[in-house]
């Protein structure tokens, strides 16, 4: 690929790269020329094989982001094996569903630790390297619940609202240092995360009836937004949360 979307010579860290949105974004970035550090609790062997088939380099970094213990190691292993770190995609995330009156501290902590705390501290670890380097792209995966309240997902909504706020804060602090920090807010995307919703006929019909595009998103629908935010095409885009939602938020 040539031109403003070309990622040749760039190295991207993608968390949760073994499946769903993380895998699709890793493959889109590799398709645009980037080498990939595929970070996963479950080894992203399939993703790495597909990246290699695209002619790019891939490494597997084993990490459980329910704690921030691995964040410095993720950066160190990427620099050591791939020789740089230009793009971070903070994608790994979980959801827990229960009425707010019954919601447990364990479900609060699990979601906040993975979706918010690790997102910040991995951005910090990668950002330190990017600041030294004078350039970088950080893409946080937010949600429609960055903008809306949702229901029965209090820790998820708090985490994704927080991701939106942190995206703006880090952009404020780092844009003058050559780092663009932005987020993507996926709509309803058909992945493991949403299997249960699609399996419930009433829920599925009501979701589909509200999506202007009239279909669930595919993980591959996130690829273009990720390549844009990872490339020089977005050099003057800072603190933006880009919805890729088939029009859900426009409704």
Per CB under 6 A, residues contacting ligand NDP are: 15-16, 18-22, 40-42, 64-66, 91-94, 114, 141, 143, 186, 188-189, 191-194
Report, in Å, the least distance between residue 119 CB and ligand NDP: 9
Query: Shortest distance, CB of residue 183 to ligand NDP, whole angstroms?
Result: 10
- 3-state DSSP assignment of residue 79: helix
CA distance 221 to 104: 34
Q: Minimum CB separation from ligand NDP for residue 189, in Å?
A: 4
> CA-to-CA distance for 143 and 139, rounded, in angstroms?
13
Cβ of residue 194: shortest distance to ligand NDP, in angstroms?
A: 5
Q: Which of 35, 82, 156, 164 is catalytic?
A: 156
Euclidean distance between CA atoms 111 and 116, whole angstroms: 8
Gap between the Cα atoms of 139 and 150, Å rounded:
23
Sign of the CA dihedral 170, 139, 71, 130?
A: negative
As a whole number of angstroms, the distance between CA 42 and CA 64 comes to 9
User: Whole-number minimum distance, CB 195 to ligand NDP, in Å?
Assistant: 9
Closest CA to 223 of 35, 25, 33: 25
* Joined tokens for residue 105: 């501290």
d(CA 147, CA 248): 11
State the sign of the Cα–Cα–Cα–Cα dihedral 245, 250, 235, 138. Answer: negative
Say if residues 226 and 139 touch (Cβ distance below 8 Å). Answer: yes
Q: Is 188 a catalytic residue?
A: no
Known catalytic residues are: 156
């Amino acid at each position: 690929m040539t031109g403003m979307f070309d990622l040749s010579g760039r190295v991207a860290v993608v968390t949760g790269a073994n499946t769903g949105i993380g895998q699709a974004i890793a493959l889109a970035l590799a398709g645009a020329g980037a080498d990939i550090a595929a970070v996963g609790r479950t080894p992203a062997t399939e993703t790495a094989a597909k990246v290699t088939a695209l002619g790019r380099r891939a490494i597997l970094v084993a990490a459980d982001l329910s704690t921030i213990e691995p964040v410095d190691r993720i950066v160190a292993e990427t620099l050591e094996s791939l020789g740089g770190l230009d793009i971070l995609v903070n994608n790994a995330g979980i959801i827990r569903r229960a009425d707010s009156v019954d919601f447990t501290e364990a479900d609060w902590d699990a979601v906040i630790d993975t979706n918010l705390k690790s997102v910040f501290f991995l951005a910090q670890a990668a950002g330190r390297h990017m600041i030294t380097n004078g350039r970088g792209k950080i893409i946080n995966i937010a949600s429609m619940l960055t903008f809306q309240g949702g229901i029965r997902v209090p820790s998820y909504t708090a985490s994704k609202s927080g991701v939106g706020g942190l995206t703006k804060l880090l952009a404020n602090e780092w844009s003058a240092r050559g780092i663009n920090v932005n987020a993507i807010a996926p709509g309803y995307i058909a992945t493991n995360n949403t299997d249960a919703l699609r399996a419930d006929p009433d829920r599925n019909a009501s979701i589909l009836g509200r999506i202007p595009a009239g279909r669930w998103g595919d993980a591959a629908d996130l690829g273009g937004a990720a390549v844009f935010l990872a490339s020089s095409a977005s050099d003057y885009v800072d603190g933006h949360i880009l919805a890729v939602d088939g029009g859900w938020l426009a409704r």
